[in-house]
């Protein structure tokens, strides 16, 4: 069984066949997934999906591109939902910094990044980090905390192998998705070669970032084997080993039995 550590099945791209697709995952070797929240409006559908399937879990948090409308009241509500008995929330995410577009302003992104890290510490849940074009500020923020107990994933990792190893040392897993199958992913291939398998988790980030040979199409956990195979080839180990170790990693991190 492969574990998909990062999906967005609440996305409207799955409106036509959501139930059918999610129901078909176990028979196709996908043993579980964490549906990660992006904006505030997605909280409810994300929780609903996690409630509906016993192999589905939720992560609650606000993506850096969607923090414009955040306020203390919403943050309090997220905390309440995470603490609720039987909530199936296993992480805070996705949170972080995205400087690809000029907005939201960096100061706003940083404020809610820090607020949500503090939230994760209060509720004792690992963090799922989204960081794009913001290597320095992300590192500066994360280095102020000790994640060796709490744990976390730097998802869709897009920086250098040296930085990946830095995060591994500080308690993070490195999230590897469809980009690893792209021909021009030289830097990411180096990351996978350098980072120990014990610190790698697999993810699709579906509906985005479908691996080759499906690049550009709607992604789903059904394409995880293409990511897994590429990782196995780069590490020079069997696919069975990558499957076993990355699933153990995901369950250890998310504290799933
Ligand atoms: Ni995502």
pLDDT tens per residue, range 191-213 = 999 999 999 999 999 999 999 99
Nearest to 235 by CA among 179, 182, 205, 190: 190
Residue 6 Cα to ligand 1 midpoint, Å, equals 6
pTM for the whole structure: 0.97
- Please write the tens of the pLDDT for every residue from 145-171: 999 999 999 999 999 999 999 999 999
Residue 94 Cα to ligand 1 midpoint, Å, equals 7
Tokens matching residue 176: 């590897």
CA geometry: angle at 139 spanning 135 and 140, to 5°?
115
What is the predicted pLDDT for the residue at 86?
Answer: 84
Residue 38 Cα to ligand 1 midpoint, Å, equals 7
Residue 129 Cα to ligand 1 midpoint, Å, equals 9
pLDDT above 90: residue 257: no
Residue 95 and residue 62: Cα distance in Å, rounded?
6
pLDDT above 90: residue 219: yes
Residue 153 Cα to ligand 1 midpoint, Å, equals 12
pLDDT above 90: residue 87: no
Q: What is the mean pLDDT of the chain?
A: 97
Residue 7 Cα to ligand 1 midpoint, Å, equals 6
Domains contained in the chain, number = 1
Residue 5 Cα to ligand 1 midpoint, Å, equals 10
Torsion, Cα 79 158 201 142, to 10 degrees, reads: -40
Report, as an integer, the average pLDDT of 177-199.
97
Give percent of the chain above pLDDT 90. Answer: 98
Residue 27 and residue 30: Cα distance in Å, rounded?
7
Residue 8 Cα to ligand 1 midpoint, Å, equals 7
- Please write the tens of the pLDDT for every residue from 35-63: 999 899 999 999 999 999 999 999 999 99
The range of the structural domain enclosing residue 110 comes to 2-254
pLDDT above 90: residue 85: no
CATH number for the domain harbouring residue 239: 3.20.20.140
Ligand 1 (ion): residues with CB under 5 Å are 205
Residue 36 Cα to ligand 1 midpoint, Å, equals 7
């Amino acid at each position: 069984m492969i574990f998909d550590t990062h999906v967005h099945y609440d996305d409207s791209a799955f409106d036509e066949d959501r139930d059918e697709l999610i129901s078909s995952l176990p028979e196709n070797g996908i043993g579980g997934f964490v549906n990660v929240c992006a904006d505030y409006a997605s909280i409810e559908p994300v929780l609903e999906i996690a409630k509906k399937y016993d192999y589905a879990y939720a992560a609650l948090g606000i993506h850096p591109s969607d923090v414009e409308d955040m306020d203390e009241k919403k943050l309090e509500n997220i905390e309440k939902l995470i603490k609720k008995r039987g909530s199936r929330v296993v992480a805070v995410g996705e949170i972080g910094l995205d400087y690809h577009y000029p907005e939201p302003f960096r100061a706003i992104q940083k404020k809610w990044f820090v607020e949500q890290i503090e939230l994760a510490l209060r509720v004792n849940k690992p963090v799922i980090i989204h960081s794009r074009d913001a290597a320095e500020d992300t590192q500066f923020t994360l280095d102020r905390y000790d994640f060796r107990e709490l744990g976390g994933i730097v998802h869709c990792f897009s920086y250098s192998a040296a930085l990946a190893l830095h995060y591994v040392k500080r308690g993070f897993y490195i999230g590897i998705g469809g980009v690893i199958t792209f021909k021009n992913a030289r830097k990411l291939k180096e990351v996978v070669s350098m980072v120990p398998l014990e610190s790698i988790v697999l993810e699709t980030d579906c509906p985005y970032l479908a691996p080759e040979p499906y690049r550009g199409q709607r992604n789903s956990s059904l394409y995880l084997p293409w990511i897994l195979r590429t990782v196995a080839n780069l590490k020079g180990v069997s696919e069975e080993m990558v499957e076993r170790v990355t699933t153990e990693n995901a369950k250890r991190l998310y504290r799933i039995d």
